Amino acid sequence: MNRRSLLLAAAAGTLAAPAIHAQGTWPQGKPIRVIVPWPPGAANDTLGRLFAARLSEKLGATAVPENRTGGAGLVGTNAVLTAAPDGYTFLASAFNTAVMPLVLKGATFDPQKDLEVCARTAQAPMVFAITGQRPQTTLAEVIAAAKAKPRDWNFAITSLGSASHLATIDFLRRTGLDLDMVSYRGTQPAVADLMGGSVQLLIDPSSNLLPARAPGRLNVLAIASKERSALAPEVPTMAEAGVPLEAQSWYGVWAPKGTSPEICQRVNDLMQETMRDPAVIQRMATQVLEPVTESIAESRAFIGREIERATVLLKSVNYQPE
């Protein structure tokens, strides 16, 4: 059973639980669009489909996940920015949404003013992966080899403005390396090329890379967290290799600006209930995803801090939007 099936099964297993009581007239039977601005397969898509499933199961809505890809997530995001604020369109996205205007010339919106934050749903530490076609088995060995022959190494990033992108910028800044970055349209094509050896390195969420480990194809050398993961205790932290980098990806739900506070609160209540469900927690743990349960105000404050952190990082390397 794949990641998506596991989480959807967890959602289906709780149908007997009491539903959140309806307040007002939303939803009224009109289909709810859950826009996922990334291709199917990675954690973002899985969590978007889980959100849609819970809307259907708990609120009696007809919720349809829709992958609207392109423009490093901007195509799907724009679809939500221009949608009516009536509770029938949501954005299920990630870290990218908060920092997109910092890295993309075409992203002219303000994520704190032009979207309504409904909930953060999950987070995952970033991990450092290497193609299995290279002999290095530790992060320290990779750094030494890349410093000796920098043109023999490059990084895949899963998209401009992704957690993968910013973690890679931070890693290069901390190590003093100057390596090329190759941008992809999502995790799956980046992982495919990493396994094939056309790119050598990738920093991406643990939820995407730990399940993809395969001898001779993809090895995970370090995790960007304070402590080793209980689900992969053999993977050392980056700090153990002398690179004190801590980074994570996170996922959430947004609505168009002007969506009523009552609707946003019901979505927040729904997702807090979901992320406290033991079946969902258990399935998420197998994917190294940590459930998040926090209020709208807490999510808004967290996202504000993430934007500030990304702004400082990008200014430190004189990053220019592309």
Total count of domains within the chain: 2
Please compute the mean of the pLDDT values over residues 255-265 and round it to a whole number. 98
Residue 70 within any structural domain of the chain:
yes
**Is position 50 within any domain?**
yes
Which residues have C-beta within 8 Å of that of residue 238, sequence separation ≥ 6?
128, 139, 171, 222, 223, 224, 244, 245, 246
Lowest mean pLDDT among 36-50, 98-112, 267-281: 36-50
User: How far apart (Å, rounded) are the C-alpha atoms in residues 67 and 227?
Assistant: 34
Nearest CA to 147 among 181, 182, 176? 176
Give the amino acid at 274. Answer: T
Alpha carbons 101 and 74: distance in angstroms, whole number: 10
Mean pLDDT, the chain, rounded, equals 91
Tell whether 61 and 86 lie within a shared domain.
yes
What is the percent of the chain with per-residue pLDDT over 70, rounded to a whole number? 93
- Tell me, yes or no, whether 322 lies in a domain: no
Residue 286: pLDDT band (50, 70, 90) is confident
pLDDT at residue 22 is higher than 80: no
Domain shared by 18 and 40, yes or no = yes
Same domain, 142 and 175: yes
Residues 225 and 269 in one domain: no
Rounded average pLDDT over 14-25: 44
CATH number at residue 211: 3.40.190.10
The tokens of 121 are what? 């749903």
pTM, entire model = 0.85
Q: Which of 188, 222, 241 is the last residue of a domain?
A: 241
pLDDT for the residue numbered 231: 78
Same domain, 81 and 131: no
- Is residue 117 located within the same domain as residue 266? yes
Task: Based on the fold, state whether residues 308 and 228 are members of the same structural domain.
Answer: no
Range of the domain at 108: 3-123+249-316
Q: Which of 206, 241, 276 is the last residue of a domain?
A: 241
- Residue 182 domain-assigned? yes
List the CATH number of the domain containing 308.
Answer: 3.40.190.150
> For residue 72, is it within any domain?
yes
> Residue 13: pLDDT above 80?
no
Q: Is residue 43 a contact partner of residue 207, using CB atoms and an 8 Å limit?
A: yes
Tell me: do 205 and 306 sit in the same domain. Answer: no
What's the pLDDT at 40?
A: 87
The torsion angles phi and psi of 65, rounded to 5 degrees, stand at -70, 140
Higher pLDDT, 214 or 15: 214
In a shared domain, residues 279 and 264? yes
